Every structure is written in C-alpha cells, then in structure tokens.
Amino acid sequence: MNSILDIEHLRTHFKTDDGTVRAVDDVSFQVRQGEIVCIVGESGSGKSITAMSVMGLVEGPAGRVVGGNIRFDGEELLKLSRNELRTIRGNEIAMIFQEPMTSLNPVLKIGEQLMEPLIEHRKLNKKAARKRAIELINEVGISRAEQIADSYPHELSGGMLQRIMIAIAISCGPKLLIADEPTTALDVTIQAQILDMLRKFKEESNMSILLITHDLGVVAEMADYVVVMYAGKVVEEGEVVALFENPKHPYTQGLLKSKPIINQRQEELYSIPGQVPNPLELVPSCYFHERCAHCMEICKTTQPALKEVGNQQKVACWLYEEATANV
C-alpha cells in the first residue's frame, strides 16, 4: 500500500513565559492509502498538535514546527507557502474537529458553508454548488436537505452539525481526512452512526483517515493501525489486532486495562496511577517512568528509542532492549 502521509521526526514546540513546551517531540509514522490510523493517548500527549502541524494550523508565533518532515502524497508540506497549503487544505486534506460549532460560521446558512469549498476548490458555479450541497446533505443521512441547507448552525443538533462537518470535509473528495475526537461530544448512538458513516465514505472513496481519539472503543472499532502517544512522543505503534492482543509498552497495557470489558463486571475500573508529567519539566528519561510498575534505573536517566519488536509492532521501552537486539 502506498503511503499518503509520511511524518518523519516531527517536532512542534510552543514558547511560553515559563519555557518551551515540546508538544510534539520527534514523532514519525505513516498513513497508507485507504487505511485508518488512530492516534491514541491521554489529554496533552500531543495528538491534536500533530494533526494541526499537518494542516499547517499551529498557532504562531508561540507555536512552531521546528523540525522534521511532513510528506503528503509525495509532497513536502512544510516547504509550501500559505497559499499553496490553502489549496491542499479543505481539498486534498480535510479536517473535522470535536466541536463542529467552532468550525462553522454562525451567521452563514449551512448550504452556503457547504458551497464554499465547492466553489473555491472545485470551481463549481453557484447553481451547481447548491445542487451538490443538497446531495451532500442527503449523503450524510440528513432528510429535508433543502430545508437544512437554508438553516443556520444554531438550528441544528450536535449530531447533525457533525454530519454537516463531514459533508463539508468530504465535499472535495479528500485523499486524507483528519478527524480530531469527532464523536467525543456526541451520545453513544449518534457516535456509532457517525463512525459507521466515516468508514463507509472511506470504503467508497479509498480515502485515508487519521483519527485522533482517547477512546479505545473507537480505536478497536475503526483502526487498521494504532499510534500511541505519550508526552509528545510515540511510545508504541502497530497493527490494531497485534497491539490489542499483545500491547508491549506498560502505558499501552495500562490504557487497555482501563477500558471496560463487556460481560466482565469489574469492582472498580483500573486507572493508570499518577499523572502525565509537566511538559515544562521533562528531563532525559522515559517520560512514563514515574507511573510505571516496571521502572528500572535506566528508565530514569535515558530515553528509550522506538524500535521494532517484530510483527510490525514498535515500542519505546527499556524492557524490550534485549528483545530488540535480537530482531
């Protein structure tokens, strides 16, 4: 499978009054054509900033991509001008966010917002764009499409707004859809419908999806490949089945342990002890060491590199150093 997105050694930092936050710190992974890659990790692990870096939406001047490469369909995105990037954004790469209201314009009718990218990127005239906008509203499972096109965002429910966001995102037939916690704010039934819809569009068009979530249920449901992030770094990655069946990193093991299991009533749900370290106080070490039951001396002083442990699974953990030496 061809890779559509190739992130290599990406580093995105924020300068704050208290120091530099290394939000994304030497992150590499790929998204192949037609594949769903999930980035999973606790709040603050750098998932959103990774996505924002791809979209060229990191808020400067405090935030900046300070190193690495982001190749999309063979083209280096970090070298593009703002205008060149704008042509790709919303067209070849589309993004949806957790809160659709933050991306929609409250004073523009839904139909007009759907027409915008069609006019800008697909060069449709107004009449054709309106016709396509109505079709798109139907395609995302909303009835009374004409009426909805003439509504304002505040007249629609959260689930409907997210469907509209998806309609806008897929309107120009993107090769890559980045979805940042797209269902977190929705109730479970709507969540399942939205995820099903994303999968259906992916299958119909062979687009790739980079899905950001902290919900392992969503990962199990959607992912082909999983990237686990912790404190700005990838700590483990692999095919979804291998990773769920045989998680290597103690952090991934903890995440999986904290997921409720159907038919198994647990007295108390497990939660990983401790907290994500303060991003301003990171010292060379495994950033997970203070929360890790297997912590060794080396973990406190030296950062483990991400290494292949077989079966296309990679892990950054000193527990596997001997194992990796033999791979």
Ligand X SMILES: Nc1ncnc2c1ncn2[C@@H]1O[C@H](COP(=O)(O)OP(=O)(O)OP(=O)(O)O)[C@@H](O)[C@H]1O
Which residues of this protein are in contact with ligand X, per CB under 6 A?
A: 14, 16, 21, 23, 41, 43-49, 59, 62-63, 214, 279
Q: Name the phi and psi angles at 192, rounded to 5.
A: -65, -40
DSSP β-bridge partners for residue 14:
21, 63
Nearer to ligand X, 124 or 211 (CB): 211
Give dist(CA 154, CA 152) in Å, integer.
6
DSSP β-bridge partners for residue 7:
29, 70
- For residue 181, the minimal CB distance to ligand X (Å) is 7
- For residue 58, the minimal CB distance to ligand X (Å) is 8
Nearer to ligand X, 14 or 320 (CB): 14
Axis-axis angle for helices 188-205, 158-170 (nearest 10):
10
Give alpha helix (H) positions in 98-249.
100-103, 110-120, 126-139, 145-149, 158-170, 188-205, 216-222, 240-245
Give dist(CA 275, CA 224) in Å, integer.
29
**DSSP, residue by residue, 271-302:** --SS-PPPGGG--SS-TTGGG-TT--GGGGT-
- For residue 191, the minimal CB distance to ligand X (Å) is 16
- For residue 280, the minimal CB distance to ligand X (Å) is 9
- For residue 48, the minimal CB distance to ligand X (Å) is 3
Nearer to ligand X, 22 or 175 (CB): 22
Nearer to ligand X, 24 or 136 (CB): 24
Nearer to ligand X, 2 or 278 (CB): 278
